[in-house]
Amino acid sequence: MTTISVLNTPPLESGDRLTRFEFERRYDAALDIKNAELVEGVVFVASPVRANRHGNPHAIMMAWLGTYWMATPGVGFYDNATVRLDEENEPQPDALLRIEPAVGGNSWITEDDYIGGAPELIVEIAASSASYDLNDKLNAYQRNGVQEYIVWQIYENKLDWFILQEGRYVSLESDEQGILRSQVFPGLWLSVEALRQKEGATLNAILQQGLQTAEHQEFVQGLAQVSTE
């Protein structure tokens, strides 16, 4: 019966305009497709992943976020997890951090093991400023209340970190040392130049400075306190 259902399911192709239900039906049946997204009702099927244009930058971002996660109990960390934002948007972000709803977060894990709602921080590796990551996807994240959105544009080697203010994204400004500091996740510090130059030691050293701040310690203590109430 399952085989008949799969055989009768149309293929999933970039440019298809589908509901979220139909997108999931076709995605489940397309066993050869590993990464597909529904953004503003339009399907995007990922191309094969290039080593230096995506794989390496993705790994660097994962190492940075993973280090923060290990030092911050109560924060969830995910790689390429499907997010059900709304009826027309089901992206599969490169990385994200989220806070559990029990401690004030805006997203949850659905019964079938997807993320529902808007994670607090999403990271995307984009080819360039022309990518849909900085257009339709940005609009969808903004409208659904993703509080912080980071996009690393590989061709331009440029990083944008957006924060949500009064329903609109504005650029997070770095300090005089070129360090960006998350407004949602205290202690999540990023040296823009170290990231651009792929200097792992410096990237980690700046993050470790953030993790030693009183703000980060208070954040961790606050998450622990709420989770035990």
Residue 201 in 3-state DSSP? helix
In a domain, 2, yes or no: no
Distance CA 104, CA 146 (A): 14
Distance CA 173, CA 178 (A): 9
State residue 2's pLDDT score. 38
> Are 62 and 33 contained in the same domain?
no
User: Is the pTM for the entire model greater than 0.85?
Assistant: yes
What's the structural domain count of the chain? 2
> Are 14 and 61 contained in the same domain?
no
Q: Find the distance separating the first CA and the last CA of the chain, reported in whole Å.
A: 48
> Are 134 and 196 contained in the same domain?
yes
Domain that holds residue 42: 9-48
Residue 218 in 3-state DSSP? helix
State residue 46's pLDDT score. 84
State residue 102's pLDDT score. 86
Distance CA 5, CA 208 (A): 51
State residue 64's pLDDT score. 98
> Are 71 and 113 contained in the same domain?
yes
> Are 42 and 84 contained in the same domain?
no
State residue 4's pLDDT score. 37
> Are 20 and 77 contained in the same domain?
no
In a domain, 3, yes or no: no
State residue 129's pLDDT score. 66
Helix axes 56-70, 200-211, angle to 10 degrees: 20
> Are 33 and 127 contained in the same domain?
no
Give the residues of the chain that fall short of pLDDT 70.
Answer: 1-7, 128-130, 227-229
